[in-house]
A and B are shown apart, each in its own frame.
Chain A
Amino acid sequence: MLTISRALIDQVIAHARADHPDEACGVIAGPAGSDRPERFIAMTNAERSPTFYRFDSMEQLRVWREMDDRDEEPVVIYHSHTATEAYPSRTDISYAMEPTAHYLLVSTRTPGDIEVRSFMIVDRVVTEEEVRAAAGQDGMIET
């Protein structure tokens, strides 16, 4: 299960909408080992493509170093699909290399009906999980 604040989900959706029809991508960092997504980090899609995303390599180094300095890890890795469903594709699965991250998929294929789904992807096995969007401005207040 992914427990995440409504505010963070809204930031992910806003990013996906803003970049449509290109795929949007990013990270939500949280304290290492906590499984709590807290810090939203929109990343540049170096591919700038409607069908593919890739973090810019220098930006990724900067962000990963910063997380390390802050004793954080990438709790959520998100990206959007702009013409297909919010489900991991073959390439999503083959490139998923953070075994403890929640892979959050957003689909912007239908403007008035944005899909948000979350998955664990470990050793190429995809497991969908519930997204528990908690209300509250600060921290995780479970409803």
Chain B
Amino acid sequence: MAILLEGRKVSRNFGGLAALLNVNFQVRSGEIVGLIGPNGAGKTTLFRCITGVHPPTFGRILFKGEDISKLMPHHICVMGITNTHQVVKPFPEMTVLDNVRVGAFFGKGWVRGEVKDATQEALRVLEFTGLTSKANFLARNLTLPDRKRLEVARALATRPELLLLDEVVAGLNPTEVDRMIRLIQQLRESGITIFMVEHVMRAVLSVSDRLIVLNFGEKIAEGPPDEVARNPQVIEAYLGKNYASGKSHYA
């Protein structure tokens, strides 16, 4: 499989704090890659580096071989990378349909936008994400699960090749988690590559082909989910040194 996204020694500093340090990673087209790590590990920062919101301080990010580390977010979106936000950011006073239409209008390959076409595309995406019945609701009136879906729908409408999902499952109840997992699998089947940050292990272990683990801004492990889950370094990062070496009082 061809490499779609590649990070070479990606580093990002906030003042004196190194939020990311020399992170190398690859995402191949058609994959679902999970990005995990304890709180503050730099997962969202890495996503922001990729989308151009916080460009990397050092290092390069290549999308289909092209350096995108210095481009503006909207430019990166038009190239085919879109993300969803960890804290959902709908356009609150717009209808659900209009929210998605923004994505359809401004995303990839819409230099000349016809209102009619964008609306059609938006309706198609709403159908796919199961929001059709709420198309005319104002986004601020949606429930959290629906807002998360709207995030995905709006991102999808930009027709990304690579979709970055930042904790789309967090805060959902078990049934909703299953629905979201099914949606993610459908996305992959439709040919979209997915790179996702997730804390809900059930979700990330069940859909990912490969996991990347960050801790304190550095990559500590990478590989298939079951292998990573047994990696002592990963267990240590999540549960502490004692647990990893089997000396825990709680084990």
Q: Do A and B come from one complex?
A: no
Seen from chain B, the residues whose Cβ lies within 8 Å of a Cβ on chain A are none
